């Protein structure tokens, strides 16, 4: 590596660090205040807005798994994921110390507000990364602080966190939507795709799948 190249890399890296450091506050602020409008808004125009294409039927990824060896349930009387059967259920694998999990919370709050009176529920599966995230009082304090009112299943040893995610690589956060028949209709790793998630929930509430023999 020549000296000139090294200097260019050095300057580029320092500028990139500075740019990210100064813009990250804006990113966090934006994440805290989700807009209920679609992520990509059309430009203002005098012409009437085109009718949006109907949201396609969400893919069916097959039946959900069970939640096993749960260490406790918070903010609910439920004792099993089966207690949520028949509802559109957003299942979020998360932990309160995870930045990206926290960034999703304002969006989940907006879904809770928008669809809470309908046949919809959110279930957090709290899978701690570090030991301090496994303490129940710490989890309860975090739920209060973060404004999370929906039920929580405590997956302290991460059995379900691992079992629900294919392969040996698992991620925080991971979001699923389960339909009224118990089938997974949405599976997303990480932040983003908030409008797609909203439309998936809306679609499933408005277009419940025909009941199967089991349901």
Q: Least distance in Å: CB of 56 to other proteins? A: 17
Site string for other proteins, 10-29 (x = CB under 8 A): x--xx-xx-xx--xx--x--
* ∠ Cα 179 180 181 (to 5°): 90
CA atoms within 13 A on the CB side of 32: 8
CA atoms within 13 A on the CB side of 14: 5
CA distance 197 to 34: 13
3-state helix/strand/coil string of 141-154: HHHHHHCCCCCEEE
CA atoms within 13 A on the CB side of 51: 2
First vs last C-alpha separation in the chain? 65
Q: Least distance in Å: CB of 127 to other proteins? A: 10
Comparison of 16 and 141: residue with beta carbon closer to other proteins: 16
Asked if residues 124 and 150 have their Cβ atoms less than 8 Å apart, the reply is: yes
Q: Least distance in Å: CB of 189 to other proteins? A: 4
CA distance 160 to 166: 11
Stretch of 58-66, 114-122, 146-154, 168-176 contacting other proteins, by CB under 8 A:
168-176
Q: Least distance in Å: CB of 71 to other proteins? A: 18
For other proteins, which residue of 68, 118, 132, 147 counts as binding (CB under 8 A)? 132
CA distance 178 to 189: 15
Number of residues that bind other proteins (CB under 8 A): 41
Q: Least distance in Å: CB of 85 to other proteins? A: 27
Comparison of 130 and 213: residue with beta carbon closer to other proteins: 130
Say which DSSP state 8 is in: H
For other proteins, which residue of 67, 101, 143, 197 counts as binding (CB under 8 A)? 101
Q: Least distance in Å: CB of 15 to other proteins? A: 11
3-state secondary structure of 30: helix
Comparison of 193 and 202: residue with beta carbon closer to other proteins: 193
- Can residue 141 be called a binding residue for other proteins (CB under 8 A)? no
Q: Which residues bind other proteins (CB under 8 A)?
A: 1-3, 5-7, 9-10, 13-14, 16-17, 19-20, 23-24, 27, 97-101, 103, 129-132, 166-173, 188-193
């Amino acid at each position: 590596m020549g000296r000139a190249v090294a200097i260019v890399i050095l300057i580029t890296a320092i500028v990139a660090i500075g740019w990210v450091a100064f813009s990250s506050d804006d990113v966090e602020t934006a994440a805290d205040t989700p807009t209920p409008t679609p992520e990509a808004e059309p430009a203002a125009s005098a012409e009437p807005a085109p009718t949006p294409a109907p949201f396609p039927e969400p893919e069916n990824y097959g039946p959900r798994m069970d939640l096993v060896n749960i260490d406790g349930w918070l903010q609910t009387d439920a004792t099993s994921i089966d207690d949520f059967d028949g509802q559109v259920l957003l299942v979020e694998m998360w932990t309160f110390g995870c930045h990206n999990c926290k960034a999703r919370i304002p969006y989940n709050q907006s879904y809770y507000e928008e669809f809470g009176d309908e046949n919809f529920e959110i279930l957090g599966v709290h899978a701690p990364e570090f030991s301090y995230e496994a303490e129940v009082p710490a989890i309860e304090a975090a739920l209060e602080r973060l404004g999370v009112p929906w039920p929580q299943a405590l997956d302290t040893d991460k059995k379900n966190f691992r079992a629900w995610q294919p392969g040996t690589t698992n991620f925080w956060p991971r979001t699923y939507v389960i339909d009224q028949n118990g089938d997974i209709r949405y599976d997303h790793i990480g932040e983003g795709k908030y409008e797609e998630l909203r439309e998936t929930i809306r679609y499933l509430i408005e277009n419940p799948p025909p009941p199967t023999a089991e349901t």
